[in-house]
Structure formats: C-alpha cells, structure tokens
Structure 1
Amino acid sequence: QNAWDTGAGWGLLLTYATYMDKQQPLVKNALITGIGNNVVSLIAGVVIFGTVFSILKTDMGMSQPEVLNVLRSSGPASTGLTLIWMPQLFTKMEFGQSFAILFFFGLSIAGFSSLMSMLELQTRVLIDIGIDRKVSLLLVGIISFLLGIPSAHSLTFFANQDFVWGIALVISGTFIAYAAVSYGCSALRKEEILIHNTDIKLGAYWDMLIKYFIPAGAIILLFWWFVLSATSYTANESLDPFKPYSIMTCLFQWSIAFFLLYCFNQKLGKITLHQDKK
C-alpha cells in the first residue's frame, strides 16, 4: 500500500527528486511523506470501516461475518468502500450534504494531483531521451487516455489492472533497491543522501534494510499474495491468464513488461546518457 500511496514503487519519487534542490533534507522529507501518508490512511480506514459496521451491524442487524463479507466484496478494487459507504455516513451527519461535497471535491483533487505525477513520470523519460516537453506531454496524455479506455469501460478490466500492477509495485520497488545496492548503499547514503547538515542522520542500519529487508519483504509479500490468489481469489483457475485475479494473469502481463524493458532498456539508457553530456 505504501508503494502505491507514496509513489515509491512507481518511481514517482525519483521524478520528483529531479526537481529538488540539493539543500533539501531528503530523510526528513521521506519521513514526512511516509508518516503523513500512513496517518491519513489509518484515519480514513477507521472512518470507513466504522461506518460500514455501524450501518450494517447496528442499523440493519447483520452479524459480524456478514459485515466482513460485504467488506470483502464491496465493489471491484474496493470502489464500493468509498463510493457507497461514505455517502451513507454523510446522510447521518449534521450538514452532511456540505461535507459530502467537500469530501468528493477533495477526492477529485487528490486523484487529479496523482494523475499529474504519473504523467510527469512518463513525460520526464521522454524529455530525457531528447523529445520536446510539449510533444512529450501530448504523447503521454494521448497514450494514457487510450490505454485508460478499457478500464473506464469495464470494472472487471479495471480490477484486473489494479490487481496486476498493484502487486507489480512491490517488484519495481525491489528493482529500485537493487539499483541502490549496485551503486553501493554506503556510498549512496554518504554521498547523495547525507549532504544536508540539518537532516536526520542515517546509520549503517539503512544499508542493511536496503540490502536484506526489502528483498526479503518483497519475496514474502509476493508469496503470500500468490498463495491467497491460488486459494481464495481463483482457487481452481489460478493458471488461467484470462481470470482477473489469477496468478497467471500477473505473470503473463509482467512478462510482456519485462520483455519490453529488456529490449529498450540499454537503448534508452544510452540515449539518456548522451543527452546528459550535451
């Protein structure tokens, strides 16, 4: 969830970092981002789950297992938790309509701001290989719009993409950790991170976290997710690539992405380095 919310697994933070001043305290900013994200997520979770239990258990007399079943099946990619139950909460509040307008307006702004960072990530890649910013932004906007049409048309397709690439963020985050290990965790920490006198000091424990904890955590999470998919989501169809929550649909789509990255990685890297030398 943190890989998604903070943009760490996407590489969004790397994109933001290209616009940061070297005097910015990196560790403080990272802590503020992570802690702020988790606090808001916890508060939102408490509000939503409390609302669901209150309405279904107290008002409608459902048992706890029945309520939990509703939570598990409340719309593809948990869309129902926000779009169904938050309005239910606002109807029971004083000035609920006004709060509902503010809430969904804020939610729209949050979604739009997230979209901006995603578009900037892709645009930055094209700029780095020498394409004009306006052209890059136009290309990214058009391609993103076209690729988003199937998800807008079908909630099943949307849920599949959310499932496949949500898990993939664990893998991409691990690749970022691998890049740090390849550079040298200690060198990265001393030469690139701890360059601000007022920043929080990172010790050698950070090197151990990057080298061992993140890869181990990624393996455990992926194993747990695959076991859950094989036993709960698609118990008898886990090898069917056309089932939205199967293991095979993840492996199939990831293999396509890995193949494309393998084919274009070195070429894009050479072009980017050539542009940097200009």
Structure 2
Amino acid sequence: MEEKGQEVFSSRWGLILTLIGASVGTGNVWRFPRMAALNGGGSFVLAWTIILFSISIPIITAEMVMGRLTRHGAPGAFKDFIGKKYAWMGAFMAATTVAITGYYTVVMGWCLRYAFISLKGFEGKTTQELVQLFDSVSNGWINVGIFVGLLLLTAVIVAQKISRGIELIGKWLTPALYIVLLIMLGRALTLPGSVEGLKYLFAISPDTFFDSNTWLQALSQSAWSVGPGFGLVITMGVYTKAKSDVALNEFLQGVGDNSAALLAGFVVLPALFALAPSPEVAEEICRSGNYGLTFISLTQLFGGMAGGRILGCLFFLSLFFAAMTANVIFFNTGVVPLMDMKMSRKKATTIIFFVVFAIGIFSAYDIDFVNNQDWVWGMALLVGSLFTCFAIWKFGVEKTRSYINIPENELYIGKWWNVSVRFLAPVAIVILFVWSAIGAMKARPNDWWNPFVVDSFGTVILQVGLLIIVTLLFNKKLGESAENNYMNTVTEGYPEIPEEHQD
C-alpha cells in the first residue's frame, strides 16, 4: 500500500509499463526491423536475444539497485554508492540523457507530423517528392515551433507527481503502442507474400549466426535500446518501493522492450517483402538508413497499397507513442538530480526545460544536428554503461547481488550475474565502442579527426571529452549537491523514499 504523501508508483504494473516505455523508443520500430533484415534475419534475432539476457538486463538490474539503495539521481547515486570522487560519472550519464532529449523531442515532432500527413496519402508521389517532403518536415522554423510545443508538453507531464505524470503516460501510451502495432500486424499479414517476411525473420543460418558482424550489430541494437547507460533506470529506482522485486521488474522491462521490437519486425518486414518488387529491392530499402526507410521508402509503400493512409497514420502514431513515453523519462533523468539539491520538482523541471531547449533548438532547425547528436551521445551511452559496471565492481558484485535477491523476490539471480557484470558486459561494451570508432574512421579516412564533421569520430572525442572534463571539474560541487546519504539510514534492505522526492 502506498504511504501517504509519497511520490511513488501507484502499482507494480504502473512501474513496469513505465520502465518498458522508457526502453521502447523509435529504434525498436524503425531500427530493429532494418538491422534484422540486413544481418541474417533469425540469426540476428537469436544473437540479440542472447545479448539481452546476458548483458543488457544485468546492467539495468545493477542500475535499479543503485537508484533504490541511494534514493538519488545518477550523480548522488554514484556519490553514495562508491564515493564522492565518482559523482561526476553519474553527472555524465544524466547530462548525456538530457542532451539526447534535445534531438529526441525533434524526432518525436517528425513522427507526429507524418501521422497527420499520412491521412492525406502518399499516392502517386515519386521518390524525389518524398525526399523533398521529408526535407521540409525535418528542417525549418515550423519544425522549431513543434519542437517547443512538444518540449513544453513533456515538461508539463514531468512537473506532475510520478503517479499523475510519468506513470500515467507509461500506463496509457505503452499499451497503446502495442495495440497499434497489433492492428498493423493484422493488416500486414493479409498482404500477398507477407509470409516470406516472417519466414526470413525466423530463418537461422549458421553462416550468419557465427558471423562476428551479426553479433556486433545485435549488441548495438540491445545496448542502445534496452536502456543501460542512460541513468534513467537509476532515476526510476528512486521511486520504487523497498520490497518490489528488482530482478523480475528488470526482466520484464528487457523482455517488454524486445517484444515491442519483434512486433515491429512482424509488421515492417512482411510489408516490405509483400510490396517490394523483389527481396533484393527490400534489402536495398533497408540499407537506406532509419530515416530513409521510415519517411521515404515505407511512405512510398503505404501510397501503393489499399488502406495505406490508415496504416501509415497508425505506423507514425506508434512511433510517436514510443518516442513520447521514452522522452518523459529522459527529461526526468535530468530533473531528479536537481531535486536532490532540495529544489522542487516544478523548479527543477523549468531549469531542465531551458537546458533542453538550448541544446535541441539547433536540431529542430537543421537535421544535420540531429544526425550529429544521435551519433555522439549514442557513443556516450556506452561510456555510461562502463561507469555502471565500474560502480558495481567497486561496491562489490556479490554484495550488489545480495540487494537484488531480497526475501520478497519472485525471481532470484544466480552467480552468472556476477560474471556478466564483472567481465562479459564491460568487455562487450569496449568492443562495441572500438568497433563503432573504427567504422567511423574507415568511413572518413581523410577527416575522421575533424570535430566539425557531422559523423566523424573526432566530433565524438570533442563533445564526449568536453563533457567528461566539465563533470570532472565540478566533481567536488557535485559530491556536495546530494547532501543526505540514505544508505546509512538502514542496516539491511532499502531506505524509504526521502522527503525531497515526496513533493
């Protein structure tokens, strides 16, 4: 039963749906089907599922323990968990997620606009006309206005108490996303030839399954989708009840994220295989990138099919729902550290609103900034995941597992978790970071070092490096910002939710 006055999730399912909503984003809907199509279908899906249980879920489980045990946002969580001199690591994670909110709000606006544009239809439009349409939607002052409106809506939601704002969005929009995808699935499977897409999604070939590229792509999909490294699970942990089952909650979050991606795959790939002239053309469409697939190729397919206007509207609504649920959690990840400094939720929300506005306004006006920020902060998330692994190692892996396996649990975690967090996860993350960096340098052999090139490795070094330097410089102040150490108030188990998070 909820204690009077506490800002806490009103029910377990409210928490779980919110956690799933935090993980399920646009990448589940537009990136997963594309990656599956380009990397062996079922081989990719199997590798991605193995990585979910062996790497992604263990990391987010660790982050949930950090948030619940310290009752602080990411900077304060690192401070109390492993010492004041490491508060900068949590600040790095929170700042990364705030930066992501800037361009993610922009992408959310594109999805909403396309939901309405779809009702007018794409019949008869050439590829060039669809490219011009996307260019007009993704750039310019109208886009800026929509960005401001959606950012304001996000702030209004976050400014409410957890049960009246973030949880409400999670409880309504997360199921709505699944319902829309199921409706689309029903239509997609009626298309002649759609079964071939499903067969491909489940076909496992030894050649592709044992290909290192398949595993690296599966690792990248899981790493950037489930939610490790954002600090958002740490933040959600602040508001979870002391006897709630950490292991089962995070298991359901991971499985919920993957089920949404699979459902999107069941929709997109059958539609592609049914409507593209040949499997080769379907594969070429997938190579056109996330935006090319979503806003150009798929709209062309919607324009050539019966009921395409409704299906297109539903597809972009599903993207908007996915983006909205994730966005409020991203925003809140920046708010909670300010609340640790005794600010009210409304004041902290106002400050983060202006910070996100200052960061995102450039992405709203020019898509090149979106591409740059997506690349840079995606790499920063890998760094954040490493920070989590380091924190668990320093605090004690077995000690952390003892906080996961509380008596009230329905699901218990074995010692395999220790191996994952101590060895498997950090090694896999480093490999993914190096692989991504090498790929960026190979793509731009002459100017990979240039920090002013949109997708160079140099721009990652500059922006991520600057954030590390800034958070290190302010580490002493960060270490003092969350004054209370709630870990010291209990001899075993978890502390209750503190007063500053009960407004």
Q: Any unmatched runs of 5+ in structure 1?
A: none
Counterparts of residues 1-278 of structure 1 (less than 5 Å): 1-45=221-265, 47-52=267-272, 54-58=274-278, 64=280, 68=283, 70-74=285-289, 78-190=290-402, 192-231=403-442, 233-274=443-484
In 1, distance between residues paired with 2:440 and 2:270? 27
How many angstroms does 1:274 deviate by? Answer: 4.0
> For residues 118 and 200 of structure 1, do their structure 2 counterparts lie closer, same or farther at Cα, with a shift above 3 Å needed?
same
Choose 147-156 or 104-113, whichever is displaced more.
104-113
How many angstroms does 1:115 deviate by? Answer: 1.3
In 1, distance between residues paired with 2:258 and 2:379? 19
3-state SS of paired residue (2:236): helix
In 2, distance between residues paired with 1:80 and 1:196? 50
How many angstroms does 1:158 deviate by? Answer: 0.8
TM-score norm. by structure 2 comes to 0.50
How many angstroms does 1:4 deviate by? Answer: 3.0
How many angstroms does 1:109 deviate by? Answer: 2.2
RMSD: 2.3
Q: Cα deviations across residues 88-142 of structure 1 (Å, max 9, x unaligned)?
A: 3434554332233233223222212211101111000110122221111011112
Tell whether the 8 Å contact from 1:28 to 1:199 is kept in structure 2 after alignment.
yes
3-state SS of paired residue (1:5): coil
Structure 1 counterpart of 2:479, one-letter code: G
> For residues 171 and 15 of structure 1, do their structure 2 counterparts lie closer, same or farther at Cα, with a shift above 3 Å needed?
same
In 2, distance between residues paired with 1:16 and 1:164? 24
Q: Cα deviations across residues 189-226 of structure 1 (Å, max 9, x unaligned)?
A: 10x21114342111111111111111111111111111
> For residues 49 and 264 of structure 1, do their structure 2 counterparts lie closer, same or farther at Cα, with a shift above 3 Å needed?
farther
- Corresponding residue pairs, total: 268
3-state SS of paired residue (1:203): coil
In the other structure, the counterpart of 2:214 is none
How many angstroms does 1:69 deviate by? Answer: 5.0
Tell whether the 8 Å contact from 1:6 to 1:34 is kept in structure 2 after alignment.
yes
> For residues 53 and 154 of structure 1, do their structure 2 counterparts lie closer, same or farther at Cα, with a shift above 3 Å needed?
farther
In 1, distance between residues paired with 2:419 and 2:225? 24
3-state SS of paired residue (1:273): coil
TM-score norm. by structure 1 comes to 0.87
Structure 2 counterpart of 1:219, one-letter code: V
Choose 165-174 or 90-99, whichever is displaced more.
90-99
3-state SS of paired residue (2:410): coil
Q: Cα deviations across residues 41-98 of structure 1 (Å, max 9, x unaligned)?
A: 233245435544554443xxxx83x765553344xxx222222233334345543322
How many angstroms does 1:260 deviate by? Answer: 1.2
Tell whether the 8 Å contact from 1:25 to 1:196 is kept in structure 2 after alignment.
no
Structure 1 counterpart of 2:464, one-letter code: W
3-state SS of paired residue (2:483): helix
> For residues 99 and 35 of structure 1, do their structure 2 counterparts lie closer, same or farther at Cα, with a shift above 3 Å needed?
same
Structure 1 counterpart of 2:373, one-letter code: Q
Q: Any unmatched runs of 5+ in structure 2?
A: 1-220, 490-498
3-state SS of paired residue (1:245): coil
In 2, distance between residues paired with 1:95 and 1:57? 19
Structure 1 counterpart of 2:466, one-letter code: I
3-state SS of paired residue (2:474): helix
Tell whether the 8 Å contact from 1:130 to 1:275 is kept in structure 2 after alignment.
no
Runs of 4+ in structure 1 deviating by more than 6 angstroms, as ranges, are none
Tell whether the 8 Å contact from 1:4 to 1:10 is kept in structure 2 after alignment.
no
Structure 1 counterpart of 2:425, one-letter code: I
Q: Cα deviations across residues 177-200 of structure 1 (Å, max 9, x unaligned)?
A: 11111111111110x211143421
